[in-house]
Amino acid sequence: MNAIASTVYMPVHEGCTYGANKVSFGIDADADGALDEDEVAMSQVLCADECREDYGFLEAQQKCVKKIEATEEPGDHCQFGGSYVKYVADANGDGEIQESEVILAEYNCEPGDCQDATKVYSDVAGRCVLFDNQWISIPAGTGDYASLQPYSMMKTEVTVAAFEECVTAGACSSENYGVYDASTIVDGFYFSYGRSEEFKTHPMNGVNYYGAAEYCAFIGGRLPTLYEWQYAGLLENTDGTIRSGNYVYPWGAYAASSDAVVDWHCKKANYRDERDKDEEGQMFYYCVGTAHSSYAEDALGTAPVGSYEEGASPLGLMDMIGNVGEWAAGFDNTDESQAFLLGGSFRGILQTLLFSQVVNKTSRLPPIGFRCVKDAE
């Protein structure tokens, strides 16, 4: 019987940056040239000075890992298949890789045809996700908007149901949006996310700029700039003709002054009207009905997206005015702390397409929502 030693490299070992070598000594009782567990008389673990040559050092994890590349079959990670790169560490040195030993996995999924008008392929999720919307093509800019390249804009504001897909996929962070709580009223109103099924067709509200940007990236788009948002609403046709003068609403001009003005506009947008005042002279009348609301007393609030068909723009954009104010990036999308809020909301008076507010990007009040754009392919 011969006394032999064996060394096993353990890429992960507490207190050892580059892993450790486990050196064992014993008698090769069965003379097979290998030191079996029952033949080990003594073992010693020594920290390694560097990763083993077939391993590399992963800076982000501060660990020695082995890079494995392979094809990913269609499944949970990639609906239409693709490939993956896994960084693994054989922690126990048994030569077999368990899921628990995968330090980092990166998937490169192949896009596919969702074959469903209610869904869109998401690179982030690696699958088709709910997309209860459609893109409206916007031509290259003209006039004051001549610097704009062609792009597409969502027909309606992003709904609660669509936003849920982003949350489920882990692509939308919880700190960037509000969740419904019957005991909590924010600025007089409720959040719609997490409320009843009825509100899933309402615009996602109470989401800050960063949450809106996360969702847009999730579906392969981005938030519009101020000019992109305004230009899309002002367009008369796909030739780039811009409406001017008093035609500063998606549907055209303001109605003539008469008793019918309020009723006329209340068929076009969900906003607060100034027709009535309370005893203290404060405006309080709202156009929105009580059937679909997000107010604490169910008296006013958001309405399902696309409810005001008469208020559509010539290109078919819905709810550009009222319902929820919409996030837009600055002129060059470089401002780090503030962004624009456009279109007004159910809480405000009737605004024009040219009206804008400068708001902190962290604001996530109930009257705030968004829609996305994407560059032309």
Sequential pLDDT tens for the chain (377 residues):
678 888 888 787 888 888 888 888 888 877 887 888 888 888 888 888 888 888 888 887 788 888 889 999 998 889 999 999 988 887 666 667 778 888 888 899 999 888 887 788 888 888 888 777 789 999 999 999 999 999 999 999 999 999 999 999 999 999 999 998 877 666 667 888 988 888 898 999 999 999 999 999 999 999 999 999 999 999 988 888 888 776 688 988 765 544 445 556 677 888 875 544 445 555 444 565 433 333 334 446 788 898 888 889 999 999 999 999 999 997 555 557 899 999 998 887 778 888 899 999 999 998 999 999 999 98
Q: How far apart are CA 98 and CA 88, in angstroms?
A: 9
CA–CA distance from 228 to each of 16, 153, 154, 321, 339 (Å)?
54, 9, 12, 15, 14
Q: How far apart are CA 233 and CA 319, in angstroms?
A: 10
For the stretch 154-195, pLDDT in tens is 999 999 999 999 999 999 999 999 998 877 666 667 888 988
Q: Are residues 269 and 128 in the same domain?
A: yes
Q: For 366, phi and psi rounded to 5 degrees?
A: -55, -30
Q: Are residues 231 and 287 in the same domain?
A: yes
Q: Are residues 18 and 159 in the same domain?
A: no
Q: Are residues 101 and 174 in the same domain?
A: no
Q: Are residues 36 and 80 in the same domain?
A: no
Single residue among 65, 83, 109 that ends a domain in this structure? 109
Place of tokens 């920290």: 47
Nearest to 293 by CA among 304, 285, 305, 284: 304
Q: Domain of 76?
A: 56-109
Place of tokens 């020695």: 64
Indicate the angle between helix axes 209-218 and 160-168, nearest 10 degrees. Answer: 80
Total domains in the chain come to 3
What is the phi-psi region of residue 355: left when phi exceeds 0, alpha when psi lies from -120 to 50, beta otherwise? beta
For the stretch 46-99, pLDDT in tens is 888 888 888 888 887 788 888 889 999 998 889 999 999 988 887 666 667 778
Place of tokens 């392969």: 220
Q: What pLDDT score does 160 carry?
A: 94
Cα 198 from chain centroid? 22
Residues 21, 45 contacting (CB under 8 angstroms): yes
Q: How far apart are CA 373 and CA 221, in angstroms?
A: 6
In DSSP terms, 85 is beta-bridged to 69, 106
Q: Are residues 95 and 196 in the same domain?
A: no
Q: Are residues 247 and 312 in the same domain?
A: yes
For 338-377, the DSSP string reads EEEEES--TTS----TT-EEEEETT---TTEE---EEE--
Q: Are residues 134 and 97 in the same domain?
A: no
Q: Are residues 256 and 292 in the same domain?
A: yes
**Beta-strand runs (E) in 204-298:** none
Three-point CA angle 265, 266, 270, nearest 5°: 115
Q: Are residues 99 and 118 in the same domain?
A: no
CATH number of 278's domain: 3.90.1580
Q: What pLDDT score does 302 carry?
A: 86
Q: Are residues 289 and 334 in the same domain?
A: yes
Q: Are residues 174 and 271 in the same domain?
A: yes
Single residue among 109, 126, 146 that ends a domain in this structure? 109
